[in-house]
Amino acid sequence: MTTRNTANQDETLKRHFNWHDYARLGHYLRPYTVRLVLVLGSILIGNVAVVLGPFLMKLAIDQAIPQRNLPQLGALGAVFFISLLIAWACFRYRIWAITAIGQNLLIDMRTDLFTNLQRLPFAYFDTRPHGKILIRVVNYINTLSDLLANGLVNLISDVISVGVTLAFMFAINWRLTLDSLGLIPLLIIWAYVVQKKQRTAFRELSNKQSNLNAYLHESIAGIKVTQGFAQEAAATANFDAIADDNRQAYMRAVKIQYALSPGVQNISTLTTALIYFIGIQQLGVVVSTGTLIAFIGYVNNFWNPVINIGNFYNSLITATTYLERIFETMDEQPTVRDADDAFDLPPVKGDVRFRNVCFQYEADGPLILDHVSFHARPGQTIALVGPTGAGKSTIINLLARFYNVTSGQLTIDNVDSQRVTLASLRSQVGVMQQDTFIFSGTIMDNIRYGRLDASDADVLRAAKVARADDFIQTLPAGYQTVVQEHGGSLSAGQRQLIAFARVLLADPRILILDEATAAIDTQTEALLQAGLAELLKGRTSFIVAHRLSTIRQADQILVIDHGQIVEAGRHAELMAQRGVYYELYDSQYRLLQATE
């Protein structure tokens, strides 16, 4: 059964993150292999330049200064200065290259995530708040950017730095080197204890962040309802409660996260003290003054990258909670997709047949459609009527294959709709729903969305047929008028006329109107119907309408009730039967008379 989620409900993770999943990140780094090799080369050169410093200091203290060898001291100083310049140049290149790689990784991951979202069926978006989807595409990916680019390459840099430093340390004094590594096991144990608690804490935090984002998105979308009922105080109280949950989860997570760093710092300090203690005892016998000073410098060079590696490990554990959600979305398989042997649907005439079609949203849920059968011939107009929730919209959603039929068969020109590619099917089926969506941009662009290669003349022609041209011409910039998301500056009727023009521009062979004229006034609807009369000739049309007066001329009227066709026929035939349709029509007629 599909799990439905709300803004104040923590999401259940379908699959926990596997450490092997980190290998998937290599897929995103692979296109930048050459750049990474150059970065690693600069890191290696830069690290060698940095670790030369203590070694040059040892030579100066043990040889050049005691022997008053000024040429040697000058040469050592010159080499040291050059090494600093090389280290600076390598560091500057690394920062630039890493930033570029990181931004490209962001685009690649976000594009893959968005692409998969485009493939998912309506059911995926119906069962979770949209804010919880948005946070994965935006916030979670941003959180990973530093880890995938700067953090990852810095990790390699630190590992190289540790390796180079250890090589110099062993070359100078292998006994002191082993002594400096004595507390490493303590560090490993401490990191293991912290990471288990940290991962749990950040998984809880990601849930609370998701809840907060979902409630914020929902509140903005419903702001008119909130203000219309004067419920701002209640909305604020709900927001405060969810925000406080997020705050508490964040404080718990951070408290655990920052437990690792002090532990590493303390172990580093203890190691330095240990080296001082051992080195001073052996000073002048086994260890020279220059060797001890150089070794203390190398111990710092060793522990600084170790601390950085610990911080990266910290970030890795934190990022794991976000990667779980990102990969979960990437791995979400669309239930409505092309079959392996799917083929393109040829240009259709519009012969549509439902043969004992059953549909249910969930495997153990109730039947929404129960053995529905009907035949729509090419060019016919089929009207679907019935009470709310009867299954009318489900029929047209199956026709456009927004969902798959549970059983039975739906054919178009005798071709099973589930055997053809979705793109070839939907390119020949135009759908206009009551809840029209207007994108931010110009009115011209919004209409052209129906067919992106359409000319301006084509757009104007569609707008005139849909009777949208009249009001568009009255706008200050006409078709170049910029509207915001959802078309807030337009009336509901104007938005529907634009959506109507968009569908008509697509020139579909099968046209679906789901309460498409609900927000249009009676006068505009009469004009629209007149303009559509010629366009609908030769097309198979499906009309869902609660205003029964608008479908009197339909070739076939299907009365849907409880997921079944209870009556079918033309208007006059159904009225003569004095059944369900007659009662619906008569009640609407009497209601209209009462309101006049």
Band (pLDDT 50/70/90 cuts) for residue 557 is: very high
Band (pLDDT 50/70/90 cuts) for residue 278 is: confident
Are 499 and 471 within 8 A, CB to CB? no
> Could you give phi then psi for residue 107, rounded to 5 degrees?
-65, -45
Q: Indicate if the pLDDT at residue 15 is higher than 60.
A: no
Q: Indicate if the pLDDT at residue 18 is higher than 70.
A: no
Over the stretch 98-155, which tens digit does the pLDDT of each residue have?
778 878 888 888 888 888 888 888 777 877 777 888 888 887 887 776 676 667 667 7
Q: Distance between CA atoms of 579 and 386, rounded to whole angstroms?
A: 12
Averaged pLDDT, 171-187: 76
Q: Distance between CA atoms of 160 and 54, rounded to whole angstroms?
A: 17
DSSP collapsed to 3 states, 316-375? HHHHHHHHHHHHHHHCCCCCCCCCCCCECCCCCCCCEEEEEEEECCCCCCCCCEEEEEEE
Q: 160-169, 323-332, 334-343: which has the highest mean pLDDT?
A: 334-343
Which of 41-45, 194-198, 204-208, 462-466 shows the lowest per-residue confidence on average (mean pLDDT)?
194-198
Q: Indicate if the pLDDT at residue 307 is higher than 80.
A: no
Instruction: Say which residue, 407 or 430, is predicted with more confidence.
Output: 407
- Rounded mean pLDDT of the chain? 81
Q: Indicate if the pLDDT at residue 300 is higher than 80.
A: no
Averaged pLDDT, 333-343: 87
Cβ neighbours around 180 below 10 Å, total: 23
Which residues are within 8 A (CB) of 109 and not within 5 positions of it... i.e. 6 or more apart?
Answer: 28, 141, 144, 148, 326
**Cα dihedral 501, 503, 505, 510 sign:** negative
Band (pLDDT 50/70/90 cuts) for residue 6 is: low
Q: What is the pLDDT of residue 284?
A: 57
Q: What is the pLDDT of residue 322?
A: 79
- Which tokens is 95 given? 């920062």
Amino acid at 60: A
Averaged pLDDT, 230-248: 87
Distance in angstroms between the alpha carbons of the first and the last residue of the chain? 48
**Cα dihedral 315, 318, 324, 327 sign:** negative
Q: Indicate if the pLDDT at residue 592 is higher than 60.
A: no
- Which tokens is 520 given? 């249009």
Over the stretch 205-222, which tens digit does the pLDDT of each residue have?
888 888 888 888 788 777
Q: 10-24, 188-202, 288-302, 336-350: which has the highest mean pLDDT?
A: 336-350
Over the stretch 527-556, which tens digit does the pLDDT of each residue have?
666 656 656 677 898 988 777 767 888 899
Instruction: Say which residue, 263 or 244, is predicted with more confidence.
Output: 244
The structural domains of the chain, ordered by start, are 28-330 (1.20.1560.10), 349-428+544-596 (3.40.50.300)
Q: Indicate if the pLDDT at residue 1 is higher than 50.
A: no
Are 148 and 25 within 8 A, CB to CB? yes
Give me the count of residues in the chain: 596
Over the stretch 46-58, which tens digit does the pLDDT of each residue have?
878 877 777 787 7
Q: Indicate if the pLDDT at residue 315 is higher than 50.
A: yes
